[in-house]
Amino acid sequence: MAKLWAVIRREYLERVRTKWFVIVTLFGPLFFGGIMILPAYLSVRSMREARVANIRILDATGTGLGVRIADRLAAPTLQGPSPERAPVDELRPAELAAREAELIAQIQRKELAGVLVVDSATVSSGAARYAGRNAGSVGDIDVMEAAIRQSLLAFRLESEGIDAARAESLTKVRVRLTADRVTDEGLGGSGIANTIFGFGVAFLLYFSIVFYGQAILRGVLEEKTTRVAEVIVASVSPDVLLAGKVIGVGAVGLTQQLVWVLSSVGFYTQRATIFGAMGIKGMPQVGLPSVEPFVLVALVLFFLLGYTLYASLFAAVGAMVGSQEEAQQAAQPVIMLLVFSIIFAQPVLTNPNSRLAEIVSWVPFSAPIIMPMRMTATPIGAGEIIGSLLGVLLASVACVWVAARIYRVGLLMYGKRPSLAELGRWIRQS
């Protein structure tokens, strides 16, 4: 046991001390923090910065629609002070073309951001046109569309005899759709949050397994090519060496994820402060995913078993080959198994209860990635989760058994990469 511990400690410390570990571990929270904050920041910012104030409105309707639109655009928003009111030119349809051309020239000279034109077609069918430097900004266009729609609606209500104040209050409708998830236990948290969380979990599992699996492969290969392996297996059995390696590297991965999870939780709980510091008052609502404790436990088990399964396969590949180049090639089948899992992430996430989703969460090679994603995105029966876990457990045991045998023989074999038949002999003979 003391020797196993020595192997684990060496694997752990030698990796945790590297520059790369520190960089990736610290970069993670920045990355996740960025993912959490940046879209919210950008969306708020783009709304606030919508340059609809620096436009000119040409109104050829003769109904005062342009003024209504300008009023709405200038109304104070949640995000900040009310923008400057856009000037309105009321003119006859015949004058429209000339004035519009004149304004477009101004836009070219950057004296103006854009020009919004409303005419009789707007009143009858809602068709309006806008030309400006910010025509590509979805946020700006949305804001203008909303203003036109509301103004038109108010105008029509008034022309049907409803008084101005009432029309105003009737058209000021804000729609906010909250999507709640229903689970067996009742009403859960935000549905979208769970989907995002599910995808995050799948990505994290995939990333960790690929990253740390490859680390194991490189470690085994290093011991083999530097011939350190022979000194070590003269002191401890190859099984102890393999176990120590898998556990040590796994512990490095867990350390990293712990840092990530804790910092994400930190970001989340401190988000009000962070948004405040960035000058955003109205904080976009971020729904918390609702995850039951049972699912969390299963999540950790899926990670541990999935990691063990792939780590042992990568170790066997490392023991089979003699150089980095060969390793790239020989690792392909194992990588393919992982890629195959992540390819199904998207379809499974869009339709987590489909037959496809069920199948790939039962296949032991994809289950460690797909099942955790599925069960966080949508409620799944405990029986199915446990069954899938058992499948992964059995597959892990089988993979470790086979890999340990390949490892034992391959570690001291130099020269040509073994054929499948030779591999079979290695497995039988050791």
Partner 1 sequence: MPTPALEISGVTKRYAAHTAVRDLSLTVPTGTVYGLLGPNGAGKTTTIRMILNIIAPDTGTIRILGAPHAAGASLDRVGYLPEERGLYKKMMVRDVLRFLAELKGIDRKTADLRIDEWLERLTLRTEAKDWGRAKVDELSRGMQQKVQFIGTLLHDPELVILDEPFSGLDPINAQALKDTVVELRRRGRTVIFSTHLMDNAERLCDAVCIIAGGTKVLDGTMTDVKGAHAGRTVALVLESDPPSDVRAALADRSLVARCDDHGRTFELELASGADAQTLLRRLVSAGAVIQRFERVQPSLHQIFLERVGATGVEPGMSGHG
Residue 419 makes contact with partner 1 by CB under 8 A: no
Q: What is the largest CA-CA distance in the chain?
A: 98
- The CA distance from 44 to 282, in Å, is 8
**Which CB sits closer to partner 1, 123 or 215?**
215
Handedness of CA 349, 353, 354, 358 (dihedral sign): positive
Residue 22 makes contact with partner 1 by CB under 8 A: no
Among residues 3, 85, 133, 417, the one that binds partner 1 under rule CB under 8 A: 3
Residue 172 makes contact with partner 1 by CB under 8 A: no
**Which CB sits closer to partner 1, 233 or 254?**
233
Q: How far is the CB of 209 from partner 1 (least distance, A)?
A: 24
Residue 6 makes contact with partner 1 by CB under 8 A: yes
- The CA distance from 222 to 304, in Å, is 24
String of contacts with partner 1 for each residue 235-264, x by CB under 8 A: xxx---------------------------
**Which CB sits closer to partner 1, 231 or 272?**
231
**Which CB sits closer to partner 1, 277 or 421?**
421
- The CA distance from 82 to 53, in Å, is 9
- Contact at 8 Å (CB) between 158 and 164? yes
Size of site (CB under 8 A) for partner 1:
23
Q: How far is the CB of 48 from partner 1 (least distance, A)?
A: 51
CA atoms within 13 A on the CB side of 308: 22
Q: How far is the CB of 406 from partner 1 (least distance, A)?
A: 15
User: How many Å separate Cα 57 from the centre of its chain?
Assistant: 41
Residue 222 makes contact with partner 1 by CB under 8 A: yes
Question: Which range, of 47-55, 73-81, 227-235, 356-364, touches partner 1 by CB under 8 A?
Answer: 227-235
Reading the block at residue 114, the tokens are 């854009």
**Which CB sits closer to partner 1, 198 or 418?**
418
Residues 313-372 that bind partner 1 (CB under 8 A): none
Laid out side by side, the sheet with 88-90 consists of: 88-90, 55-59, 114-118, 129-132
**Which CB sits closer to partner 1, 2 or 175?**
2
Residue 2 makes contact with partner 1 by CB under 8 A: yes
- The CA distance from 419 to 397, in Å, is 24
Residue 228 makes contact with partner 1 by CB under 8 A: yes
**Which CB sits closer to partner 1, 13 or 38?**
13
Among residues 234, 269, 355, 383, the one that binds partner 1 under rule CB under 8 A: 234
**Which CB sits closer to partner 1, 226 or 269?**
226
Interface residues with partner 1 (CB under 8 A) are: 2-3, 6-7, 10, 14, 222-223, 225-228, 230-237, 412, 415, 425
